[in-house]
C-alpha cells in the first residue's frame, strides 16, 4: 500500500509545511481538519492543508497521532487564503493559519462550548405535578399514594418551578431559587426530571444592542440610491470585482452598506464587513444588529477569548450570514461570501504589526477573488494606492459628494501657531480662536472634540544646562512624561513618571539631571494629558474626559466613554486619533486639532497622506447633526499642502499632488516595497547580519536594495536593529530573492522581520 501522506501547518513561526503519514485504520483527514502530530520531542496540534508529498526521502516521515476533526475545522477556502498570506507576506504557513483560528483554536475541540445543564420535567414528572396541582379532590393519603416518591417540600417546589418552564431551566438558575443540585439529582433518580446540556454563546455586544434604539428604515438620498444602483448589479453578478466608495464624511456610507448586505444575504450568500480596530466596532455592529438581528456575528480583539471563540463557532456552524469584525475577521469561517466590505479602508489598524504582517484590506480583496465576490472599499480619504487603482480602472469608483440631507460640511479654519506664540509665548496650548469657540459651544450646550495625536503630558524631558534628554534604556526613543494632571507650565515637578511608549519602561521624573546633576529639568512638547490639564484650567465648569491608550486599557472602557459622549454627559472630549475615527456624535459641533504637525516631522513618505487623512476625518466629526459644524486646526506650518487641502476638504487635489510626489520619488503605488529588519545583541552584530542578508538577496531583476542602515528605532526592547528596503516593480522578484536568501542563510531567519508593503517606515 502506498503511503497516505498529509501536508500539515503547525503553529511554529518560520516553519514550512510538514509532511506526516496517516497510519492505517485512520480515515484520511480533509484539508482544514486538525491533527495531533509529533515534532521533535513535542506534540503539537496542526491543520491539514492538503495531501503531502515525500520529496525528501532522507527524513523518516512520522505518523499523525490523532485526527481531531472528520470535517474541515477551518474551511478549505480559508486554508487557501492563509496559504496565500504565508507566501505573499513571507510568513510561515503555521503563523498564517494561526491568524485565522479562534483563540485556542488548536487546543479546543470543535464542540468545546460553554455548556449549561438544563433540568426539565419528564413525562412522569409532568404527571406528578398534575397530581400535586389538584389537591382539592384528593385526601393527603391519596396524594401520597399517587405520588409516593416526592417527599420533601424542596422536591415539590422544584417540580412546580419546572412545570412553569416547558423548555427547562438551567441548574444554576434553579440553585438561585433555592433548589440545590442534590434535590435535582434525587428527582432524576426518581425519573421525574431529566437533564440536557445546552451550549450557549456568550453575546459580546448585548449592551451595544440595547443602547441603540431601533433604527428606522430611511428613504435613501439620491446619491445613496445612485450608488446602490451602481453597486448592486456588481454583487449580483457573482464575479470578483472591487469597488471603491469614496464618500465624504457624513455621506451615509453605513446605510449603503446595510442595504447591500440585506440584498446579498437575501440571495443566500454571506456578508463580511471589516471595520477598524476597535472603537468603531460596537457602534457599527449595533446598527447591523438592530437591522439584522441575531444573524450578525462580531469578531474583534476587544472580546474575551471565550466570546471570540463562541462567535467563531457560530459563524462556522452557519448560524449567521453577516460577520462584522476587525482585521482578523477577514479569515472568518463564513460560507459563500458574496460581499466583502472594508469600511475606512485607509485605516492603518488593518495592517498587522507582527508576523504575519498582513493588510486586512488586501487579504479581503484576495478572499473576494477566491470567492467570486464583490469587495467594497469605503472611505472619505482613500489611500493613494486604492484611489490610484480606481483611476486606472482596476476598481469601480463610486462617489458620494454630499452629506445626507445636504448637511453642510464643517467650516474649517487654520490657526497659525507662530502668531499665537508671538502673542502669548511658547506655553500656548489652546489658541485664542479655539478657546473662544469652545466657550461658545459650552454656552450653547454643545460638545467639542479636541484632538492631539500624542499621549502623555510632555514629549520629553531635557536638561537646560547640558541638554541631555532622558531616553528609554531599552529603546532609542525619549521617555514621555505622564501623571501630572493639574500642573500647567513647563517645570518637571517631582512625582510624575517617565514612560516609554514602546516597551512601557517607566521611572519617576528626576528633579536633577542624571548627566550633570543640574536642577534644571524642563519638559518639552506636550501630549493629551497636558491638553486635559489646560482645558480643565480654562473651563472649570466643563465636563471633560480624555480618551487615549492610557485611559482605555481596560476592555470596554472606550465603548463606555463613547456612550457617555453620545448621552451628552461630556462637554469636551480630548483624545488621540482614536476619537477621529468614524464616530457619529450629532451634538458635537466643534472639533479642535491642537497640533496638525505631529506627523509631519516624521521621516515617512506617507506623512502627508496621514496628516491629510487625520485632519479630514476629524473635521468630519463636526456638525453631523442638525447644527453646522466647525473645525479649528492649529499648526506651525499652515501652508503645508496636506493641511491646506484638508482645510478646503479637497481630496482630489490632494491625491493629484501626492501621487505626483510618489511618482517622482518612486514610492508606492509607483513601486512596491519590502522592509527587512535584522536584530542583534549589539548594533555591530545587527548591521553585519543585515549586510550579509542583503547581499544574499541582491542580483535579482525588477528591484533595488537600499541600505542596510540603522533602523529609525535603532534599539527596541533591548535589541539593536538594522534595516534595508527593497523597492521595485516586481513583488515576485523581491519575494523570490528573499526566499533564496533565507535558504542560503537559514541561521538568520529568527533574527529577521520581513514586512511586505510596510505601512510605517519607522
Window 586-615: contact mask with ligand ADP (x via CB under 6 A): ------------------------------
When CB distances are held under 5 to 8 angstroms depending on the partner's kind, the choice from ligand ADP, Zn ion, none that residue 220 binds is: ligand ADP
> How far is residue 762's CA from residue 757's CA, in Å, rounded to a whole number?
13
Q: Is 217 in the site for ligand ADP (CB under 6 A)?
A: no
For every residue of 490-543, DSSP letters joined together read: SB--TT-EEE-TTT--EEEPPSS-TTT--S-EEEES--HHHHHHHHHHH-TTS-
Give the number of other CB atoms < 10 A from CB of residue 705: 20
When CB distances are held under 5 to 8 angstroms depending on the partner's kind, the choice from ligand ADP, Zn ion, none that residue 503 binds is: Zn ion
Site residues for ligand ADP, 604-663, by CB under 6 A, read: 624
> How far is residue 480's CA from residue 498's CA, in Å, rounded to a whole number?
5
Q: Which of 250, 337, 360, 668 binds ligand ADP (CB under 6 A)?
A: 250
Alpha-carbon separation of residue 168 from 171, 517, 632 (angstroms): 9, 74, 60
> Binding segment for Zn ion among 307-315, 376-384, 466-474, 531-539 (CB under 5 A)?
466-474
Q: Is 505 in the site for Zn ion (CB under 5 A)?
A: yes
Cβ atoms 97, 79 nearer than 8 A: yes
Q: CB nearer to ligand ADP: give 386 or 675.
A: 386
User: Exposure pattern of 207-246 as b/e (b: 16+ CB <10 Å)?
Assistant: ebbebbeeeeeeebbebbeebbeebbebbeeeebbbbbbb
When CB distances are held under 5 to 8 angstroms depending on the partner's kind, the choice from Zn ion, ligand ADP, none that residue 563 binds is: none
> How far is residue 123's CA from residue 145's CA, in Å, rounded to a whole number?
18
> Binding segment for Zn ion among 148-156, 465-473, 535-543, 571-579 (CB under 5 A)?
465-473
When CB distances are held under 5 to 8 angstroms depending on the partner's kind, the choice from Zn ion, ligand ADP, none that residue 389 binds is: none
Quote the least distance from Cβ 273 to ligand ADP, whole Å: 12
When CB distances are held under 5 to 8 angstroms depending on the partner's kind, the choice from ligand ADP, Zn ion, none that residue 328 binds is: none
When CB distances are held under 5 to 8 angstroms depending on the partner's kind, the choice from ligand ADP, Zn ion, none that residue 472 binds is: Zn ion
Q: Is 635 helix (H, G, I), strand (E, B) or coil?
A: strand
Cβ atoms 156, 125 nearer than 8 A: no
Window 470-489: contact mask with Zn ion (x via CB under 5 A): --x-xx--------------
Q: Is 714 in the site for ligand ADP (CB under 6 A)?
A: no
> How far is residue 401's CA from residue 360's CA, in Å, rounded to a whole number?
26
> Binding segment for ligand ADP among 124-132, 242-250, 504-512, 560-568 (CB under 6 A)?
242-250
Q: Is 217 helix (H, G, I), strand (E, B) or coil?
A: coil
> How far is residue 359's CA from residue 340's CA, in Å, rounded to a whole number?
15
Quote the least distance from Cβ 573 to ligand ADP, whole Å: 17
Torsion angle defined by CA atoms of residues 247, 615, 436 and 540, in that order, rounded to the nearest 10 degrees: 110
Characterize the bridge pairing of strands 374-379 and 241-247.
parallel
Characterize the bridge pairing of strands 270-274 and 411-416.
unpaired
Q: Which of 127, 262, 584, 685 binds ligand ADP (CB under 6 A)?
A: 584
Number of amino acids touching Zn ion (CB under 5 A): 7
Q: CB nearer to ligand ADP: give 147 or 221.
A: 221
Order of strands across the sheet with 630-635? 411-416, 630-635, 588-593, 447-451, 572-575, 544-547
Q: CB nearer to ligand ADP: give 205 or 257.
A: 257
Quote the least distance from Cβ 690 to Zn ion, whole Å: 21
Candidates 671, 670, 682; CA nearest to 719 is: 682
Q: Which of 76, 237, 405, 516 binds ligand ADP (CB under 6 A)?
A: 405
> Binding segment for ligand ADP among 137-145, 214-222, 442-450, 477-485 (CB under 6 A)?
214-222
Prior bond of 669 cis (ω within 30°):
yes
Burial classification of residue 123, based on how many CB atoms lie within 10 Å of its CB (0-12 exposed, 13-18 middle, 19 or more buried): exposed
Alpha-carbon separation of residue 146 from 187, 246, 495 (angstroms): 16, 75, 78
Q: Which of 147, 183, 249, 283 binds ligand ADP (CB under 6 A)?
A: 249
Q: CB nearer to ligand ADP: give 367 or 624.
A: 624
> Binding segment for ligand ADP among 131-139, 213-221, 226-234, 715-723 (CB under 6 A)?
213-221
- Contacts to Zn ion by CB under 5 A: 472, 474-475, 500, 502-503, 505
- Contacts to ligand ADP by CB under 6 A: 218, 220-221, 224, 247, 249-255, 404-405, 582, 584, 624
Amino acid at each position: 500500500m502506498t503511503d497516505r501522506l498529509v501536508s500539515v501547518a503547525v503553529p511554529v513561526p518560520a516553519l514550512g509545511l510538514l509532511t506526516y503519514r496517516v497510519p492505517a485504520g485512520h480515515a484520511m483527514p480533509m484539508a482544514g481538519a486538525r491533527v495531533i502530530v509529533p515534532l521533535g520531542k513535542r506534540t503539537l496540534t496542526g491543520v491539514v492543508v492538503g495531501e503531502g508529498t515525500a520529496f525528501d526521502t532522507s527524513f523518516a516521515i512520522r505518523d499523525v497521532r490523532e485526527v481531531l476533526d472528520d470535517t474541515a475545522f477551518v474551511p478549505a477556502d480559508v486554508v487557501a487564503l492563509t496559504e496565500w498570506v504565508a507566501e505573499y507576506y513571507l510568513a510561515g504557513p503555521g503563523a498564517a493559519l494561526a491568524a485565522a483560528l479562534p483563540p485556542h483554536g488548536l487546543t479546543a475541540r470543535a464542540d468545546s462550548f460553554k455548556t449549561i445543564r438544563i433540568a426539565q420535567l419528564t413525562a412522569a414528572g409532568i404527571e406528578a405535578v398534575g397530581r400535586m396541582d389538584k389537591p382539592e379532590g384528593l385526601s393527603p393519603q391519596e396524594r401520597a399514594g399517587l405520588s409516593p416518591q416526592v417527599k420533601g417540600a424542596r422536591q415539590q417546589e422544584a417540580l412546580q418551578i419546572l412545570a412553569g418552564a416547558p423548555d427547562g431551566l438551567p441548574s444554576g438558575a434553579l440553585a438561585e431559587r433555592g433548589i440545590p443540585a442534590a434535590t435535582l439529582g434525587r428527582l432524576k433518580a426518581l425519573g421525574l426530571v431529566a437533564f440536557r446540556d445546552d451550549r450557549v454563546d456568550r453575546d459580546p455586544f448585548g449592551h451595544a444592542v440595547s443602547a441603540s434604539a431601533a433604527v428606522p428604515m430611511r428613504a435613501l438620498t439620491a446619491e445613496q440610491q445612485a450608488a446602490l444602483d451602481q453597486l448592486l448589479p456588481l454583487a449580483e453578478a457573482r464575479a470578483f470585482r472591487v469597488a471603491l466608495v469614496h464618500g465624504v464624511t457624513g455621506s451615509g456610507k453605513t446605510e449603503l452598506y446595510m442595504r447591500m448586505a440585506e440584498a446579498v444575504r437575501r440571495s443566500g450568500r454571506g456578508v463580511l464587513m471589516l471595520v477598524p480596530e476597535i472603537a468603531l466596532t460596537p457602534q457599527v455592529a449595533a446598527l447591523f444588529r438592530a437591522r439584522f438581528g441575531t444573524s450578525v456575528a462580531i469578531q474583534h480583539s476587544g472580546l474575551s477569548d471565550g466570546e471570540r471563540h463562541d462567535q467563531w463557532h457560530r459563524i462556522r456552524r452557519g448560524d449567521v450570514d453577516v460577520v462584522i469584525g476587525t482585521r482578523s475577521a477577514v479569515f472568518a469561517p463564513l460560507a459563500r461570501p458574496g460581499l466583502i466590505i472594508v469600511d475606512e479602508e485607509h485605516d492603518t489598524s488593518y495592517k498587522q504589526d507582527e508576523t504575519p504582517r498582513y493588510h486586512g484590506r488586501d487579504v479581503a480583496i484576495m478572499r473576494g477573488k477566491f470567492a467570486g465576490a464583490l469587495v467594497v472599499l469605503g472611505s472619505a480619504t482613500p489611500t493613494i494606492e486604492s484611489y490610484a487603482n480606481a483611476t486606472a480602472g482596476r476598481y469601480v469608483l463610486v462617489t458620494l459628494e454630499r452629506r445626507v440631507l445636504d448637511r453642510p460640511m464643517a467650516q474649517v479654519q487654520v490657526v497659525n501657531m507662530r502668531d499665537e506664540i508671538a502673542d502669548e509665548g511658547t506655553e500656548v496650548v489652546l489658541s485664542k480662536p479655539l478657546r473662544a469657540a469652545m466657550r461658545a459651544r459650552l454656552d450653547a450646550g454643545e460638545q467639542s472634540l479636541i484632538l492631539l495625536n500624542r499621549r502623555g503630558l510632555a514629549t520629553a524631558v531635557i536638561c537646560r544646562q547640558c541638554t541631555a534628554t532622558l531616553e528609554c534604556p531599552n529603546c532609542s526613543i525619549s521617555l514621555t512624561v505622564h501623571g501630572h494632571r493639574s500642573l500647567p507650565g513647563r517645570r518637571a515637578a517631582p512625582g510624575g513618571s517617565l514612560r516609554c511608549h514602546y516597551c512601557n519602561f517607566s521611572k519617576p521624573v528626576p528633579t536633577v539631571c542624571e548627566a550633570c546633576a543640574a536642577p534644571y529639568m524642563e519638559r518639552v512638547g506636550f501630549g493629551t494629558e497636558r491638553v486635559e490639564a489646560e482645558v480643565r484650567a480654562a473651563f472649570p465648569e466643563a465636563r471633560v474626559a480624555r480618551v487615549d491608550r492610557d485611559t482605555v486599557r481596560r476592555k470596554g472602557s472606550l465603548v463606555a466613554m463613547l456612550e457617555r459622549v453620545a448621552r451628552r454627559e461630556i462637554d469636551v472630549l480630548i483624545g488621540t486619533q482614536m476619537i477621529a475615527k468614524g464616530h457619529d456624535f450629532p451634538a458635537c459641533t466643534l472639533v479642535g486639532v491642537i497640533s496638525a504637525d505631529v506627523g509631519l516631522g516624521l521621516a515617512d513618505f506617507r506623512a502627508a497622506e496621514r496628516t491629510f487623512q487625520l485632519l479630514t476625518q476629524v473635521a468630519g466629526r463636526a456638525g453631523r447633526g442638525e447644527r453646522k459644524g466647525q473645525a479649528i486646526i492649529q499648526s506651525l506650518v499652515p501652508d503645508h499642502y496636506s493641511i491646506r487641502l484638508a482645510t478646503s476638504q479637497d481630496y482630489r487635489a490632494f491625491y493629484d499632488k501626492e501621487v505626483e510626489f510618489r511618482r517622482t520619488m518612486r514610492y508606492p503605488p509607483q513601486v512596491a516595497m519590502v522592509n527587512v529588519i535584522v536584530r542583534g545583541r549589539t548594533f555591530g552584530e545587527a548591521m553585519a547580519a543585515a549586510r550579509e542578508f542583503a547581499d544574499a538577496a541582491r542580483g535579482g531583476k525588477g528591484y533595488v536594495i537600499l541600505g542596510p542602515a540603522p533602523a529609525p528605532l535603532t534599539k527596541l526592547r533591548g535589541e539593536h536593529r538594522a534595516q534595508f528596503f527593497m523597492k521595485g516593480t516586481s513583488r515576485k522578484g523581491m519575494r523570490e530573492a528573499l526566499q533564496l536568501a533565507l535558504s542560503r542563510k537559514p541561521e538568520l531567519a529568527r533574527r529577521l522581520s520581513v514586512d511586505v508593503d510596510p505601512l510605517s517606515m519607522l
